[in-house]
Amino acid sequence: MLIQRGNEQLMFDCGEGVQRQMIKVKIGFHKKTKIFISHMHGDHVLGLPGLLQTMALMDRQKKLEIYGPEGIKRFLEDTREVLQFALTFPVEIHEIYDAGVVCQEEEYAVEAAWSNHVIPSLAYAFVEKPRPGKFYPDKARALGVPEGELWSKLQHGDKIKLSDGRIVKPDEVVGPLRRGRKIVYTGDTRPFNGFAKLAFDADLVIHDATLDNTLSEKASEDGHSTPSQAAEGAKKAKAKKLVLTHISARYADVGLLLEQARKVFRNTLVAEDFMKLELPLLEC
């Protein structure tokens, strides 16, 4: 899963051949990039060495940040040593040992929670910070605030002092804060305590649904979820949209899984290669 946000991209898990998929959909190798690995199973991490090599061949210069559970650093160091490939850019590796905020940027944060797979595994929530409210120029002019620097200060939440000594507060000319978008990615997991909190009020939840409901015991044994379990989690979290992913190859037709999920949570889709979803900025 890849989040494209302005000139930055955030990738969640990195399976085999990811660089080939990126080339097919014309995703650049030079943008500011962060990669978040859920767990150390091959289908979620083996694409990293190839991606790093491709980025180096493309003469990437920007730093690449990689986050993941214990073992991710040793995996990459050992792979580079065995394959003997050089990089043209710095790689910063963050091993995650505790749940909570693992990445903090000016406009967003990424939170991690321990999920419930057969090995230590992380679920992630990408959470945008609230944006300033809508600015009302007519209100500012009516209060005698000259256009320019003082408008900017009000828009950024600072009160100002006019030449006549009057104080103008932001809430006099700016609407309420506009909440940011929230996207949750579970990786491979059974249902787990803490999911509802991690995913609360998410605009989009991307959830493991490997096997259909009739195979719930097998799903649990293998550390996965069913469509109904994913839907129940999304419903409990009051999420807006659910996308089922990590579907077993035994299903040539995913209609059954979609039907099972939609009985619980109507706004559900099944992930497809190259699926693109737009999440517009929220105005309230």
Residue-by-residue DSSP string for 229-250:
HHHHHHHHTT-S-EEEE---TT
What pLDDT does residue 213 have?
97
CA dist 272 → 226, 266, 276, 277 (Å): 17, 18, 9, 11
How is residue 159 written in tokens? 């009160």
Output 18-22 pairs: Cβ under 8 A, ≥24 positions apart: 18/47, 18/50, 18/51, 19/47, 19/50, 19/51, 19/54, 19/55, 21/273, 21/274, 22/51
For residues 262 and 231, is the Cβ–Cβ distance under 8 A?
Answer: yes
- What's the CA gap between 191 and 115, in Å, rounded? 8
- Report the alpha-carbon angle 241-44-235, nearest 5: 20
Measured distance CA(192)–CA(32) in Å, rounded? 32
Residue 29 has a pLDDT of 93
Indicate the CATH number of 1-97 among 3.30.300.30, 1.10.10.10, 3.50.50.60, 3.60.15.10: 3.60.15.10
Which residues are designated catalytic? Answer: 43
Q: Are 24 and 53 in contact (CB under 8 A)?
A: no
The pTM assigned to this predicted structure is: 0.90
- Contact status, residue 238 vs residue 197, Cβ threshold 8 Å: no
What integer pLDDT is reported at residue 284 of this predicted model? 63
Q: CB–CB of 10/126 below 8 Å?
A: yes
What whole-number distance in Å separates Cα of residue 159 and Cα of residue 256? 57
CATH 3.60.15.10 residue spans of the chain: 1-97
Tokens of 195: 């999911």
Weakly modelled stretches of the chain, pLDDT under 50: none
